[in-house]
Amino acid sequence: MAATKKKTTAKWPAQIFKTLKDADIGQISYVPDAGHADLIKACLADNRIKTTRLTTEEEGIALALGAWLGGERSALLMQSSGVGNCINMLSIIQETRSPLLMLVTMRGEWGEFNPWQIPMGQGTAKALEDAGVIVYHVEVADELPETVYAASQIAFNSYRPVAVLIGQRVIGFKDWRK
């Protein structure tokens, strides 16, 4: 098999975009990521959503806090490899009892080809939970809209950090076998 990315149902990014709009998300911050590419494009195309391209994931936590203090809801999009960059910054969310909604595309799981992605991919949920984040792991694309909406409700109604981990079975994996 040639080097290809496994094709998955392309409708889930559009469903998540609609769900974010239904949850009144007005700002999206993101580190460019192939797993979130279609969702990022949809956010960029909507002039009612403010988008911020980040240089590192923890900047998104500060932006989320600033958005909340300014009266807007936001979401942070990132890959699991960036979660480790956020651990220290998550303390500001805990101490201020502010909401944080994170959508995390997973690496280092099912079918991973890059061994460097495995340690953080395997430790993402535990690292977030240890930092006080409520974590939902989704392995079925059809469950994403409902899970993202439920996560947004918990985050913004209880002023808590919540992460939805989008499993590698949903986003697909690269197969480098010949």
In three-state secondary structure terms, 73 is strand
- pTM score, whole prediction: 0.91
pLDDT value at 25 more than 80: yes
Q: Is the pLDDT of residue 3 over 60?
A: no
For residue range 91-119, list pLDDT tens digits in order. Answer: 999 999 999 999 999 988 888 788 888 87
Superfamily name and number for 4-175 = Thiamin diphosphate (ThDP)-binding fold, Pyr/PP domains (3.40.50.970)
Q: Where are the domains of the chain?
A: 4-175
Q: What phi-psi label fits residue 108: left (phi over 0), alpha (psi between -120 and 50 degrees) or beta?
A: left
**Band of residue 9 on the pLDDT scale cut at 50, 70, 90:** very low
Contact 56, 86 (CB under 8 A): no
Alpha-carbon distance of 160 to 20, in angstroms, equals 17
Which residue in 28, 35, 25, 32 sits closest to 5, CA to CA? 35
Q: How far apart are CA 145 and CA 48, in angstroms?
A: 20
Q: Find how far residue 83's CA is from the centre of its chain.
A: 10
Mean pLDDT of 126-150: 97
pLDDT score recorded for residue 89: 95
Q: pLDDT at position 11, please?
A: 92
Task: Please determine, for residue 8, whether its predicted confidence score (pLDDT) is greater than 80.
Answer: no
